[in-house]
Chains A and B, each alone.
Chain A
Amino acid sequence: MKPVDRTSGPESTGHAEYRAARLQERLAAGPFAELALRIEFRGDAVLVRAVAATAACRSYLLDAVAEEFAGFHVHTDIALADTSLPDHPETVQ
């Protein structure tokens, strides 16, 4: 049986899916823990969305995404968490 190459990239969607799973496992084991990523496949591109707590966290995430999806066309949308005060309460009734 032919050995599996996990480091470089055939452009099959299946392989991208495994890379997505590995990215999530890698982040879960890393310094910022699981980041509730949304990873979606849009045609031949990969879209990664998340909310990062800090700029350092976002930078770490972008580096990990670039490494795991090396060879793929990647879009990222990583927002920074907004910890401002709410501007109004909700009346629950």
Chain B
Amino acid sequence: MTGRTVRVAAVGDIHLAPDTAGRYRPAFESLGGTADLLLLAGDLTRHGTVDEARTVAAEVAGLPVPVVAVLGNHDHHHGCPDDVVAVLQEEGGVTVLEGSAVTLAVDGRQVGVAGTKGFGGGFAGRCGSEFGEDEMKAFVRYSRSLADGLRTALDELAACDLRIALTHFSPVPDTLAGEPLEIYPFLGSYLLAEAIDEGGADLAVHGHAHAGTERGMTAGGVHVRNVAQPVIRHAFALYELHPADRAEDGRSAG
């Protein structure tokens, strides 16, 4: 870390399995010189099996920076997300967030990360609502409950110098540009953006939209970055943030 800069490395949708073991390890091992933390924005595995989770854990175990993750929809596919989380935590040393937060000390400052997988439903004015069939109500309620968890987790970070919201699904349509419009409701939800704006954050990071674009912003002015691996086209993306500068020049941190 140099001066007031906090350096955040982030990638999502790495979809590791035993046949791709070691693919990211060389790049991740270099993080000690370039980043202060690594964020994994979900879809770490292909099918959410324990074997695949072990591959992910081995990929990040013992890295020189803390690793914070959320799961993605792929990590739920096999029906054992709790086992995936346990492997990531116990074998990989990863902090896995779901409606929760972690605070990291970075060069004397408190960097908070709040996370949820999130879910779909669409974006304001073009979204599902709790109406009609029980299945539709359950869909929207699930998305809302995860967004509420993110809001609560961000609230817990109010005293941090820098706050980051980490999700798998997208909080904004901006970073979906390039995806077919028809599938936007399956790629994210405005409820996440609303939670981020109300809870407050300096940066929101997500994955899931492989054909989207990297940069976006919430209605409240929070920078959003889609770090899905096919979007960033590197082992990870690197972002430098200057929280103290924001406070000093009077700009809102979201």
Interface residues of A (CB under 8 A from B): 31-34, 36, 38, 51, 53-54, 56, 81-86, 88-93
Chain B proximity of A34: nearest CB distance (Å) = 7
Q: How far is the CA of A85 from the CA of B239 in the complex (A)?
A: 13
Q: How far is the CA of A83 from the CA of B26 in the complex (A)?
A: 10
Identify the closest chain A residue to B16 (Cβ).
A53
Interface residues of B (CB under 8 A from A): 7, 15, 19-20, 23-24, 27, 30, 34, 46-47, 74, 77, 180, 202-203, 210-211, 223, 225, 229-230, 232-242, 245-246
| Given A33-B74, A54-B19, A56-B19, CB of A85 within 8 Å of CB of B211 | no
**Which residue of B211, B234, B242 is within 8 Å of A83 (Cβ)?**
B234
Task: Check if A33 sits within 8 Å of B235, measured CB to CB.
Answer: no
| Given A33-B15, A33-B47, CB of A86 within 8 Å of CB of B210 | no
Task: Check if B30 sits within 8 Å of A85, measured CB to CB.
Answer: yes
**Which residue of A34, A53, A91 is within 8 Å of B20 (Cβ)?**
A53
Instruction: Give the chain A neighbours of B15 by CB distance below 8 A.
Output: 33, 53
Task: Check if A92 sits within 8 Å of B20, measured CB to CB.
Answer: no
Instruction: Give the chain A neighbours of B30 by CB distance below 8 A.
Output: 85
Q: How far is the CA of A81 from the CA of B241 in the complex (A)?
A: 27
| Given A33-B46, A85-B234, CB of A92 within 8 Å of CB of B239 | yes
Q: How far is the CA of A85 from the CA of B24 in the complex (A)?
A: 10
Chain B proximity of A39: nearest CB distance (Å) = 10
| Given A33-B15, A53-B20, CB of A91 within 8 Å of CB of B27 | no
List the 8 closest A-B pairs by CB distance, nearest first.
A36-B210, A89-B238, A51-B230, A33-B46, A86-B234, A83-B235, A91-B240, A82-B233
Identify the closest chain A residue to B73 (Cβ).
A34
Q: How far is the CA of A51 from the CA of B229 in the complex (A)?
A: 9
Task: Check if B27 sits within 8 Å of A84, measured CB to CB.
Answer: yes
Instruction: Give the chain B neighbours of A93 by CB distance below 8 A.
Output: 241-242, 245-246
Instruction: Give the chain B neighbours of A31 by CB distance below 8 A.
Output: 46
Chain B proximity of A67: nearest CB distance (Å) = 21
Q: How far is the CA of A17 from the CA of B32 in the complex (A)?
A: 48
